[in-house]
């Protein structure tokens, strides 16, 4: 057992995910991303329609650089404050969350480190940022744009009905002395106090350091320790360092590495017997009931898999990442933020139906458009 864990398995990717997610979810990085989205929304006068389109277009692509979990957290928070508070119809609400999940899943394919399903194959298959951007990234951006325009046109009448001002819910307001510790922490986390540009710059440098040294745990973990120290000394401008989600995702990926190594005996003949299109469709369907990182990791266990088959597996895995909550690791974070806007919670069947059209569009973009 010890030899299997220490010598046969490589846990660099899970460790990297924990570090990159923690840094990307820090307050300076999140606020910087929010300001960037606000600039694009400002083109449309910060109307609900402008915010909706900007969030669903820019946030998924931003996920390629700040990681998908951080991107979906930012996107969901902004959608809650700028869109869902206007109480859209049930159909529009489901269309938006379905579109969000699909866009986030494919939006992280510009780089090789932001999306868990891509991260699991990047090192074994030697796929770098250039390869991802030229083979996946621009197609993902095109698919996101087409899907957003289609849904925008379909629901454009509802934007006109949305009020410009948020009507606060009736109910007693808590005075500061009546706040619980959790409520005070939530209020503190949402404060609008400005962050000095140099603090944001240092955070972005830590982010870049981690990405640049992604294959060297001693360097990016060492950098993370310095990052924690920096967060302590600049605590006035920070929120509590979010480690729960990064660690959970890291453990999940580590579990794939540990147990996935024993699955090669059956996955190799299955994947090796399928053509490119059937392989892509199979990966898409399997992703809906599993997790897309699990699908792509199992593909790395197949010896001598053709490059076209590798492309088809990853294309299918990221395409199907919005069909269910469990299909893509960041989806539960989005559901936890937006679930309160759906009576009885997010309905799995309605979510799948809402995500079906953008899923088909993404599949066509990946498999129907030749690579540049």
Taking only the tens place, the pLDDT of each residue in 267-313 is 777 777 888 999 999 999 988 887 888 889 889 888 888 999 999 99
Q: How many CB atoms lie within 10 A of CB 203?
A: 26
Q: Report how far residue 47's alpha carbon sits from residue 159's, in angstroms, rounded to the nearest whole number.
A: 9
Which residue in 1, 185, 161, 153 sits closest to 88, CA to CA? 161
Helical spans, DSSP H, in 9-67: 12-24, 27-43, 48-66
Which residue in 18, 148, 170, 20 sits closest to 95, CA to CA? 148
With cut-offs at 50, 70 and 90, classify the pLDDT of residue 171: very low
Which residue in 77, 147, 112, 36 sits closest to 334, CA to CA? 77
- Give residue 332's pLDDT: 85
- Give residue 179's pLDDT: 58
Q: What percent of the chain has pLDDT over 70?
A: 92
- Give residue 172's pLDDT: 47
- Give residue 196's pLDDT: 94
Q: Determine the average pLDDT of the residues in 51-73.
A: 90
Greater confidence (264 vs 329) lies with 329
* Whether pLDDT at 169 is above 70: no
* Whether pLDDT at 170 is above 60: no
- Give residue 7's pLDDT: 81
- Give residue 71's pLDDT: 87
Helix, coil or strand: residue 170 = coil
- Give residue 107's pLDDT: 96
Q: Report how far residue 54's alpha carbon sits from residue 13's, in angstroms, rounded to the nearest whole number.
A: 31
Q: Determine the average pLDDT of the residues in 201-205.
A: 95
Q: Determine the average pLDDT of the residues in 72-83.
A: 87
* Whether pLDDT at 180 is above 80: no
pTM here? Answer: 0.82
Helical spans, DSSP H, in 214-304: 217-233, 244-260, 264-272, 276-289, 292-299
* Whether pLDDT at 165 is above 60: no
């Amino acid at each position: 057992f010890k030899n299997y864990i220490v010598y046969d398995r490589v846990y660099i990717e899970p460790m990297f995910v924990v570090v990159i997610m923690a840094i990307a979810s820090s307050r300076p990085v999140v606020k910087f991303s929010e300001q960037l989205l606000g600039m694009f929304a400002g083109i449309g006068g910060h109307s609900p329609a402008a915010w909706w389109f900007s969030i669903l277009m820019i946030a998924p692509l931003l996920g390629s650089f700040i990681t998908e979990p951080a991107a979906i957290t930012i996107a969901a928070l902004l959608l809650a404050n700028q869109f869902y508070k206007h109480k859209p119809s049930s159909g529009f609400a489901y269309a938006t969350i379905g579109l969000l999940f699909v866009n986030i899943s494919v939006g992280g394919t510009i780089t090789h480190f932001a999306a868990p399903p891509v991260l699991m194959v990047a090192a074994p298959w030697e796929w770098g940022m250039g390869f991802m951007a030229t083979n996946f990234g621009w197609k993902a951006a095109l698919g996101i744009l087409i899907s957003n325009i289609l849904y925008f046109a379909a629901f454009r009448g509802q934007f006109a009905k949305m009020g410009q001002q948020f009507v606060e819910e009736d109910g007693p307001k808590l005075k500061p002395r009546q706040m619980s510790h959790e409520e005070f922490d939530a209020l503190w986390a949402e404060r609008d106090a400005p962050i000095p540009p140099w603090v944001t710059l240092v955070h972005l440098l830590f982010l870049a350091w981690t990405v640049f040294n992604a294959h060297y745990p001693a360097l990016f973990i060492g950098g993370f320790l310095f990052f924690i120290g920096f967060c302590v000394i600049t605590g006035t401008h920070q929120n509590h360092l979010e480690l729960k989600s990064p660690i959970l995702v890291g453990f999940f990926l580590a579990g794939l590495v540990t147990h996935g190594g024993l699955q090669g005996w059956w996955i190799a003949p299955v994947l090796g017997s399928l053509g490119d299109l059937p392989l892509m469709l199979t990966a898409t369907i399997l992703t809906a009931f599993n997790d897309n990182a699990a699908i792509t990791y199992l593909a790395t266990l197949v010896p001598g898999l053709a490059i076209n088959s590798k492309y088809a597996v990853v294309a299918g895995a990221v395409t199907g990442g919005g069909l269910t909550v469990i299909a893509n690791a960041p989806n539960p974070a989005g559901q936890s933020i937006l679930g309160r806007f759906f009576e009885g919670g997010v309905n799995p069947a309605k979510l799948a139906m809402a995500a079906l059209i953008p899923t088909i569009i993404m599949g066509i973009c990946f498999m129907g458009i030749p690579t540049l």
